């Protein structure tokens, strides 16, 4: 089987509010040139964000004009379309050059469903006390799920006639479209790469969820007190800095329980949203039945560890934990160094006739700086996905790494484990940088050589 090469479109082309103004006309002309070059290279599909905040500014009132034009240009170029149902905010993440918020009505509607009426209850609230506007909190997923499904259904109904040109529908599951907490995002201070990030579980709903989890596990407060040894109150760490410094996340039953809950909350959110997408897009008689459903899982590769003469030496791994990707134990090879559970989630979601594709980032990054084990991580995820028969594709984490030939070498080295690559972005792959153009051409040539059986 050949490796499928896809490319990401710009966050937006031109001005969505002025489709025919001079600025947009210039941008669309350049986009068409890039599409033509991508087609000549052998690219299969173009991914585009379908921003919830652009389409549904008023509840159940959808404006698809920009996406009608965008999909027309892609299809006219002879390429397939992958729509990313982007339920997250654009702006504030690495590479963001455009801003679009979630629809305003979403926050007010969800706040009205909370007894306190506090809108921050349905947002991620960090250990610093800051609320994130990037994505509805995983502890509020049940409250917003019908709105997600309505958006999914509206997308399917509107674009049903273009079914033959749509090869995947990708579902945003968190900040930057990834299944993670906003642990290293801009609403907090001093939490960006390569720090540990910040815990994001201090909202009203998150706190209540942790209480419910603990009481379900231990039955009573006294049961929890007996298991934990000391218990003043069931709550997330009051002083995360001291908690981590004292290795409470590893040495205390409280810490292990806390991170089990923290990760499982995120995985359950992913399970609910992807199940809703499957219900809409893959049920019998649906216009998009049989089309792949995809979701992104991030490569949080720093503070992981290093290799000492080939021997794996793990570090504190706090960045992965605050992002919700792994728990504080179960880091052995059998558990895929903490990642077996998330890959098992994708395995559970596979349906007859519909694949659920795991997209993993950071395929171009190397081990080394800031205790990065990116190269190892890419292979852990790919091998385990193959073992569990989970379709897996990858992408580069950063566009500027495409200007380095060594990054392309690492991308090529992953082809045996990943059935597809998505290059971020089309303008970098076919643009003015000589290295990126040459290496992209080489990648496409290699990918289109049939693999040995």
The region that residue 36 occupies, defined by phi over 0 for left and psi between -120 and 50 for alpha, beta otherwise, is alpha
If you ran DSSP here, which 8-state letter would residue 18 be given? -
Q: List alpha helices for 370-447, DSSP H.
A: 374-387, 405-413, 426-429, 434-447
Q: What tokens appear for 431 in the block?
A: 């643009």
Give phi and psi for 109, each to the nearest 5: -65, -45
If you ran DSSP here, which 8-state letter would residue 56 be given? -
Residues β-bridged to residue 423: 7
Closest by CA position to 205, among listed 236, 250, 162? 236
Give the Cα-Cα-Cα angle 85, 86, 91 (nearest 5 degrees): 160
Give phi and psi for 274, each to the nearest 5: -70, -35
User: CA 400, CA 166: separation in Å to the nearest integer?
Assistant: 28
As annotated, the active-site residues are 178, 395
Q: Which residues does 124 contact at the CB level (< 8 Å), separation at least 6? A: 131, 132, 134, 135, 137, 181, 182, 200, 201, 203, 206
Q: What tokens appear for 182 in the block?
A: 């906003």
If you ran DSSP here, which 8-state letter would residue 148 be given? H
Give phi and psi for 192, each to the nearest 5: -75, 170
CB 46 within 8 A of CB 7: yes
Closest by CA position to 364, among listed 408, 416, 324, 405? 408
Residues β-bridged to residue 421: 5, 394
Whether the CA torsion 176, 424, 20, 35 is positive or negative: it is negative
């Amino acid at each position: 089987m050949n490796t499928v090469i896809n490319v990401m479109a710009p966050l937006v082309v031109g001005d969505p509010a002025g489709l025919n103004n001079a600025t947009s006309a210039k941008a669309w002309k350049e986009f068409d040139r890039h599409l033509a070059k991508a087609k000549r290279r052998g690219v299969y599909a173009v991914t585009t964000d379908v921003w919830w905040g652009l389409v549904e500014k008023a509840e159940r009132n959808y404006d698809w004009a920009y996406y009608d034009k965008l999909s027309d240009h892609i299809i006219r170029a002879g390429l397939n379309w992958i729509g990313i149902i982007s339920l997250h905010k654009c702006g504030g993440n690495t590479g963001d050059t455009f801003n679009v918020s979630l629809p305003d009505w979403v926050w007010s509607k969800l706040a009205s469903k909370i007894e306190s009426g506090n809108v921050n209850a349905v947002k991620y609230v960090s250990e610093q006390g800051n609320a994130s506007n990037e994505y509805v909190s995983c502890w509020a997923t049940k409250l917003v799920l019908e709105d997600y499904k309505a958006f999914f259904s509206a997308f399917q109904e509107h674009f049903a006639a273009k079914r033959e040109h749509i090869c995947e529908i990708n579902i945003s599951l968190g900040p930057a479209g990834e299944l993670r907490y906003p642990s290293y995002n801009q609403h907090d201070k001093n939490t960006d790469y390569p720090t540990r990030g910040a815990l994001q579980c201090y909202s009203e709903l998150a706190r209540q969820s942790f209480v419910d989890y603990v009481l379900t596990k231990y039955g009573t407060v006294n049961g929890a007190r007996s298991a934990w040894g000391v218990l003043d109150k069931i709550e997330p760490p009051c002083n995360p800095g001291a908690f981590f410094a004292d290795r409470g996340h590893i040495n205390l039953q409280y810490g292990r329980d806390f991170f089990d809950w923290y990760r499982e909350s995120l995985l359950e959110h992913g399970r609910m949203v992807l199940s809703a997408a499957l219900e809409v897009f893959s049920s019998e008689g649906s216009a998009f039945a049989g089309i792949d459903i995809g979701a992104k899982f991030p490569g949080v590769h720093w503070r992981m560890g290093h290799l000492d003469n080939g021997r794996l030496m793990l570090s504190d791994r706090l960045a992965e934990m605050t992002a919700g990707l792994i728990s504080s134990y179960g880091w052995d090879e059998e558990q895929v160094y903490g990642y077996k559970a998330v890959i098992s989630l994708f395995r559970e979601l596979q349906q007859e006739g519909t694949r659920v594709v795991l997209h993993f980032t950071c395929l171009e990054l190397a081990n080394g700086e800031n205790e990065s084990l990116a190269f190892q991580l890419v292979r852990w995820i790919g091998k385990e996905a193959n073992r569990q028969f989970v379709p897996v594709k990858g992408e580069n984490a950063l566009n500027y790494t495409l200007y380095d030939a060594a990054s392309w070498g690492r991308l090529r080295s992953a082809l045996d484990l990943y059935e597809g690559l998505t290059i971020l972005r089309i303008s970098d792959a076919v643009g003015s940088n000589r290295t990126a153009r040459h290496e992209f051409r080489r990648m496409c040539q290699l990918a289109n050589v049939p693999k040995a059986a």
